[in-house]
Amino acid sequence: MTTLTGSLLMLTDKPALYRTAAIEPAKRAAPVLFTLPGQIFDVDPSRSLNLWRADVEVSGSGPRLFDGGYTPACFLYLLEIDRTFENWLVLGRTGGDFAEIRFADLGLDPEREYFVFEFWSKKLLGGFSGSFAPGPPDPKFRSQALCIRERKPHPQLIATNRHVTCGGVDLLDARWDGISLSGRSRGMKGDPYILFITEPTGFTFDKLDIQGAKLEKTERSGGLLRLTLMPGGDAEIVWSAKFSKAGRDDALR
């Protein structure tokens, strides 16, 4: 929630001192994004109506009516990533019991189809119209970061592993030209960089042309292509995933 809301990320020790897997969430939440809220909902008027008292009362000696509480008042945080080449949503979930989440409630067209990818578990939940079932949060991270992108009829980039925004920090460009899905990314030396790309029926991944990194591994699962790159340094990565397209008769079989 720190990075999705543009808040202050604080670590108690120097990053170099961390040697356990617990540092992974902090790595994927940094850097914190600068955000401009498009909509603000007052989830607890009993506190906000007393904010004026902050000018006349000193907080710190005990709880005040205008102080934040320890009991969550909401469990969903929505961030829109708006880039010149694409825009998508990241829905952060910290708890709550949600059998389904409606796209209309997120400001999306319920008639269109969207891919939903869960960042922490690295799973594509599927393509949905109208609404989707988020399922239970990953027990390891106790939260969800749901990346929502409109489904395209061709291979498309669903997410990267660099940042919880699924590309909001590192992705510089991503475009489909009818044969190749090409893009530019910011990588970090020593940190594997993963591209999650759809491989829909009728398209077959052939090869990856790349500069600034090398392809370490290619994996497929449930129509999702997972390309693991190893950056050669902190320079920009230029990549192009080439696909062959089946003929009309082949695609119908």
Contact by Cβ (8 Å): 35, 79: yes
| Residue-by-residue DSSP string for 40-81 | ---S-HHHHTTGGGGGTS--SSS--TTS--SS-S--EEEEEE
Q: Which residues contact 34 (CB under 8 A, 6 or more apart)?
A: 6
Beta bridge partners of 228: 194, 217
Nearest partner of 143 among 72, 88, 196, 89, judged by Cα? 72
Nearest residue to 238 via CA among 196, 177, 175: 175
pLDDT by residue, tens only, the chain of 253 residues: 888 888 888 878 887 788 887 788 888 998 988 887 777 777 788 888 888 888 888 766 777 887 777 777 789 999 999 999 999 999 999 999 999 999 999 999 999 999 999 999 999 999 999 999 999 988 888 899 999 999 999 999 999 999 999 999 999 999 999 999 999 999 999 899 999 999 999 999 999 999 999 999 999 988 899 999 999 888 899 999 999 987 544 443 3
* Cα dihedral 29, 33, 38, 42 sign: positive
pLDDT of residue 248: 41
**Would you state the pLDDT for residue 41?**
76
pLDDT of residue 156: 97
pLDDT of residue 59: 64
Per-residue pLDDT, 47: 83
pLDDT at 106: 95
pTM greater than 0.75 (yes/no): yes
